[in-house]
Amino acid sequence: MTFRLIPVLAIAGAAVAVAGCGNDVPSNSVAKVGDSTITKKEFDRWLTNAASGQAQGGQAARPDPPDFKKCVAGLQKQPAPQGAGKQSAAQLKKQCRQQYDQLKNEVMQFLIQAEWVQQEAADRDVKVTDAEVKKSFDDQKKQAFPKDADYQKFLKDSGMSEQDILFRVKLDQLQTKLTQKVTKDKVKISDQDISEYYAKNKKRFAQPERRDLNVVLTKTAAKARQAKGELDDGKSFKAVAKSHSIDEASKAQGGKLPDVSKGQQEKALDQAVFKAETGEVSGPVKTQFGYYVFEVSKVKKASQQSLEQAKETVRNLLRSQREQKALDAFVKDFREKYKSETKCAKDFRVAECENAPKDKQDTGPASGGAPGGATPGAPQGTPAPQGAAPQGGAPPQGGAAPPQGGAAPPQGAPTPTPAPQAPAAP
């Protein structure tokens, strides 16, 4: 069964609205993207889910504009933070208004960008089957919720429906396939490409001489001389480091400090290390951190990777660069195209709207992030498009987070902006 959670208006109703209002948003909708509309009912449902994910204590499940009476009442039931005075009703109302505005903006960004992704997928004939969605959902649900009772409890607590989560999975898979289609045939790497890159960047595939050290770091010269005396008498670096060293990192490794390259350490120590003979206990060497006694335990000669040895590394690097370049170009056009086709109701304007307030700055995929952000009110770690999201509430202990579906795409692909999430999966 196919679930689509952002319905457009019925054809007859939409035709009337278009005929009567031109490009205006229909009265029962919050936005219009091309010929598709996002209804107020749909916005309210996602807002409720998003607010449920952030609800804590006695706070109302969602802010209730314009008076916010339920929200204020819920906040009044919560204990005041330690050391903070009791807030007035006006202060609490302001807090509720701020929370509502934040949630409203995030949900609007999500719904608009989700519509963008779906329309672009349709234009490019990118499809996701019901079977693909169901398989990804089942796999991740099994990992996140070992017991069905846990899953059912999550749905009940969050106000989410399984349809909401399936929609989230669908967006994830659409964005992955869109990314693959956009970058296909843009990333062919020839042997000549690889040879040219290697020749221009040969130093990047060189490894300088490195030295493995045993070290003891002390605060005073006297302590350093004592440590050196014990080493000269046959005590191991491990034992002496344990007794005297103030460098916790090397001390925890028995005094070992591996793979030191020239120029990495403070000048005095660096010069001493690269003059020392292997197996020679040297020091004390005064540095800003204290006094070092050290031994070079092994010298690893400088090396240069051949073209053949570096070939796959270069191929992968060039592929990544070209994928990103292709995706950046696509995203720029993608945002310009769909923003110009997006009209929002007066009280629901965000940066994605063509009629956005002038002081609003663009947010979302053009600045980076994977295609398909987190769905409002969806559980952390449940099947979802990739992308970071503000967390709602404290996640229960022991939550299992399944891997994100689909291959990790280059940065910047089209993505619904994340909204606050519900508590993590148990």
For 283, what's the count of Cα atoms within 13 Å in the CB-facing half-sphere?
35
- For residue 426, whether the previous peptide bond is cis, meaning omega lies within 30 degrees of 0, is no
What does each C-alpha distance from 9 to 77, 88, 296, 404 come to in angstroms? Answer: 40, 43, 75, 32
The architecture in CATH of the region 11-186+326-367 reads Orthogonal Bundle (1.10)
User: Cα separation of 32 and 38, whole Å?
Assistant: 6
Q: With contact defined as beta carbons under 8 Å apart, do 314 and 197 qualify?
A: yes
Question: Would you list the domain boundaries of the chain?
Answer: 11-186+326-367, 209-301
The helix/strand count (H/E) of the chain reads as 13, 9
3-state helix, strand, coil in the chain (%, to 5): 50, 10, 40
Residues 6+ apart with CB under 8 A from 356: 344, 349, 350
| 3-class secondary-structure state, position 156 | helix
Q: Does domain 209-301 have CATH number 3.10.50.40?
A: yes
Q: What is the predicted pLDDT for the residue at 53?
A: 66
User: Cα separation of 197 and 204, whole Å?
Assistant: 10
Q: At 17, which helix (H) or strand (E)?
A: helix 11-21
Q: With contact defined as beta carbons under 8 Å apart, do 370 and 413 qualify?
A: yes
User: Cα separation of 190 and 407, whole Å?
Assistant: 24
Q: With contact defined as beta carbons under 8 Å apart, do 51 and 63 qualify?
A: yes
Q: What is the pLDDT along the chain (426 residues), one digit of tens a residue?
A: 222 223 222 222 233 233 333 358 999 999 999 999 999 999 998 988 888 766 544 444 568 888 889 888 888 888 877 777 788 889 999 989 998 999 999 999 999 999 999 999 999 999 999 999 999 999 999 999 999 999 998 888 777 789 999 998 999 999 999 988 888 877 789 999 999 999 999 999 999 999 999 999 999 999 999 999 999 999 999 999 999 999 999 999 999 999 999 998 999 999 999 999 999 999 899 999 999 999 999 999 999 999 999 999 999 999 999 989 988 989 999 999 999 999 999 999 999 999 988 765 554 433 333 333 333 333 333 333 333 222 233 222 233 232 233 333 334 444 554 433 433 332
Q: With contact defined as beta carbons under 8 Å apart, do 34 and 340 qualify?
A: no
User: Cα separation of 34 and 20, whole Å?
Assistant: 16
| 3-class secondary-structure state, position 25 | coil
- pTM for this entry: 0.60
What does each C-alpha distance from 361 to 17, 38, 146, 341, 358 come to in angstroms? Answer: 30, 22, 42, 17, 8
